Amino acid sequence: MTARRALITGITGQDGSYLAEFLLQQGYAVVGMVRRASTEPFERIAHLRERITLKPADLLDQASLIHLVREVRPHEIYNLASQSFVPTSWEQAVLTAEFTAVGVTRLLEAIRLVDPGIRVYQASTSEIFGKAQEVPQHERTPFYPRSPYGVAKLYGHWITVNYRESYGLFACSGILFNHESPRRGKEFVSRKVTDGVARIKHGLATELKLGNLDARRDWGYAGDYVKAMWLMLQQESPDDYVIATGETHSVRELVQIAFARAGLNWRAHVVEDLALKRPAEVDLLQGDASKAKRVLGWQPEVGFRELIEMMVDADIERYAEALPGSGRSGGR
Ligand code: NAP
Ligand code: F7E
């Protein structure tokens, strides 16, 4: 039997790499969309390179998306590509809208033109709840985004719903709460902290500058969350789902767990930097994933403490391997 084909945009990112691994395990032929760069940003998928196909296209370029979908003719498309760092969205608000908002329409148009039977997953986000109107947040909670990123993602969410309702596309929007891993970008708070702890542990740094320690998030493990993306596209009918752990923790709690894992006192190293505070903050996110549990049979497997400790251990090990005299060469 011919393998089912999946196309992943954003395959070089955190989620793209875990989703590619998961779909390969399920027997899919996996094609990743990559944008042109003068150096190859393929670190997270280096271990998969022989088993996946990479093809060039860009969310900013309509024709490239049409050609790509026509060439690959996937059964499923996972749209994970976006400008995903919230602070950058204030500095590059228009570009964020081009990738993260209008880019979704460009991809949906390509699907509609080439083959409206292709199933599509849109990477939506808890940032669309922003200044949360209720706790916990679920699929019917009113939206109130608090950054250009959140606003752009809300457009992406609604255009996905609209193409489903207008053209009958099998289009699902996954409203995923924060999810992390040892492959998380170092600019996001979880990885910034675990990388900082590892650097301090190895004597490479003495302090770690952070912004708002009071912000609260519902943090889960990326490896668990990509399974939910796939499950959404295996249902009889398309729908939107909140994916979350149901727990909320502060950045301060995250810091305490991370430093304690390395046997360090966080108060001796963490420095508050007002420049890292945001023009408008999302104070408290906590998701209610009961619909996903009921309909998809999905539930998270890795808890908050286990996640942060996994990330600290991985970063400490990575520096141990890279440092001279370790007797080991190369990074993770
Ligand atoms: P990430 O690590 O920042 O990866 C983003 C990916 O998008 C990278 O592969 C990047 O490619 C690609 N990309 C950016 N602009 C592009 C363009 N114009 N054309 C083609 N590719 C482009 O993000 P992530 O954490 O894996 O998140 C995956 C998706 O889920 C994103 O849409 C994010 O906004 C959303 N999301 C994430 C979370 C979370 O907690 N992680 C929660 C909810 C939703 P390069 O390698 O070339 O830069
Ligand atoms: O910030 C606070 C910061 O950048 C979390 C993206 O994947 O998840 C992510 O967005 C919290 C915020 O993630 C620092 O103010 C304190 O309250 O790790 P973050 P995010 O903004 O929640 C959502 C679901 C997405 O969709 C996004 O794509 O931590 N914080 N001090 C800090 N944050 C950072 N980055 N750096 C600090 O020094």
Report pLDDT for 12.
Answer: 98
CATH superfamily, with its number, for domain 189-217+248-285+303-322: UDP-galactose 4-epimerase, domain 1 (3.90.25.10)
Residues 165 and 159 sit within 8 Å (Cβ to Cβ) = no
DSSP 281: -
Minimum-distance ligand 2 atom for the alpha carbon of 187:
35
Instruction: Say if ligand 2 is within 6 A of residue 215 CB.
Output: yes
Bridge partners, 34 (sequence order): 56
194 classed as catalytic: no
Among 12, 96, 100, 125, which one carries the catalytic annotation?
Answer: 125
Mean pLDDT of the region 297-307: 98
Instruction: Say if ligand 1 is within 6 A of residue 64 CB.
Output: no
Q: Which ligand is nearest to the CA of 188?
A: 2
Q: Which ligand is nearest to the CA of 86?
A: 2
Where is pLDDT greater, at 328 or 282?
282
User: pLDDT confidence of 136, banded at 50, 70, 90?
Assistant: very high
Where is pLDDT greater, at 164 or 40?
164
Dihedrals phi, psi of 93, to nearest 5 degrees: -65, -40
Question: CATH number of the domain at 5-180+219-243, please?
Answer: 3.40.50.720
CA distance linking residue 189 with residue 247, whole number of Å: 17
Q: Which residue shows structure tokens 């295996």? A: 234
Minimum-distance ligand 2 atom for the alpha carbon of 278:
15
Report pLDDT for 273.
Answer: 97
User: pLDDT confidence of 326, banded at 50, 70, 90?
Assistant: low
Kindly list the domain boundaries of the chain, sorted by start residue: 5-180+219-243, 189-217+248-285+303-322
Percent of the chain residues past pLDDT 70, beyond the cut: 98
Asked if the domains at 5-180+219-243 and 189-217+248-285+303-322 fall in one CATH topology, the answer is no
Residue 325 has pLDDT above 80, yes or no: no
Which pTM does this prediction carry?
0.97
Question: Taking every pair of C-alpha atoms in the chain, what is the biggest distance, in angstroms?
Answer: 62
Residue 313 has pLDDT above 70, yes or no: yes
CA distance linking residue 291 with residue 294, whole number of Å: 5
DSSP 284: B
Mean pLDDT of the region 8-19: 98
Residues 22 and 51 sit within 8 Å (Cβ to Cβ) = no
Residue 18 has pLDDT above 50, yes or no: yes
Q: What angle (nearest 5°) sits at the alpha carbon of residue 328, between those of residues 327 and 332?
A: 160
CA distance linking residue 214 with residue 100, whole number of Å: 28
Residues 39 and 31 sit within 8 Å (Cβ to Cβ) = no
How many CB atoms neighbour CB 213 within 10 A?
A: 16
Residue 168 has pLDDT above 50, yes or no: yes
Which residues contact residue 217 at a Cβ distance below 8 angstroms, ignoring those fewer than 6 apart? 177, 178, 248, 249, 251, 285
Q: Give kind and range of the element (H or E) at residue 249.
A: strand 249-250
Mean pLDDT of the region 89-107: 98
Minimum-distance ligand 1 atom for the alpha carbon of 153:
34
Mean residue pLDDT across the chain? 96
- Taking the CA of residue 177 as centre, how many other CA atoms within 13 Å lie in the half-sphere pointing to its CB? 30
Among 76, 96, 100, 127, which one carries the catalytic annotation?
Answer: 127
How much distance in Å is there from the Cα of 189 to the middle of ligand 2? 5
User: pLDDT confidence of 180, banded at 50, 70, 90?
Assistant: very high
Percent of the chain residues past pLDDT 90, beyond the cut: 95
User: pLDDT confidence of 1, banded at 50, 70, 90?
Assistant: low
Residue 328 has pLDDT above 70, yes or no: no
Angle between helices 304-322 and 251-261 (to 10 degrees): 50
Report pLDDT for 323.
Answer: 84
Q: Whose CA is nearest to atom 22 of ligand 2?
A: 178
Report pLDDT for 41.
Answer: 81
Distance in angstroms between the alpha carbons of the first and the last residue of the chain: 36
Mean pLDDT of the region 255-282: 98
Residue 297 has pLDDT above 70, yes or no: yes
Q: Which residue shows structure tokens 């990326």? A: 222
Mean pLDDT of the region 41-53: 96
Residue 96 has pLDDT above 90, yes or no: yes
